[in-house]
């Protein structure tokens, strides 16, 4: 799956629930230049595959969000990605 230029994927918290994004072992989520990934408070991201944030992409993770890798899961964030 790709989040391309001008698009955003926002994982939003909900009262009484913890929304979860699961990236499976054979899956890859790529945030391309100009795309945005926002992980809001009280949400969970489990990565068994790959999360790739490319140069020039926006990446925002709240301190109260849970992001974890399992198995061979990988998080690759370019040093030139824009963190907020």
The alpha carbon dihedral of 70, 72, 73, 79 has a sign of positive
pLDDT digits (tens, 9 = 90+) for 45-76: 999 999 999 999 999 999 999 999 999 999 99
* Confidence (pTM): 0.89
- Range of the structural domain that residue 61 is part of: 2-83
For the record, the structure tokens of 14 come out as 């909900």
Compute CA distances 37 → 16, 22, 58, whole Å.
Answer: 23, 14, 6
Q: What's the pLDDT at 17?
A: 87
- Count: domains in the chain: 1
pLDDT at 84 over 80: no
Cα–Cα dist 69/46, whole Å: 6
């Amino acid at each position: 799956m790709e989040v391309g230029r001008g698009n955003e994927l926002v994982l939003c918290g909900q009262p009484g629930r913890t929304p979860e994004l699961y990236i499976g072992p054979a899956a890859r989520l790529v945030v391309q230049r100009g795309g945005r990934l926002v992980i809001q408070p009280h949400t969970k991201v489990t990565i068994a595959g790959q999360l790739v944030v490319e140069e020039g992409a926006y990446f925002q993770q709240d301190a109260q969000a849970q992001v974890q890798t399992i198995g061979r899961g990988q998080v690759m964030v370019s040093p030139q990605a824009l963190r907020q």
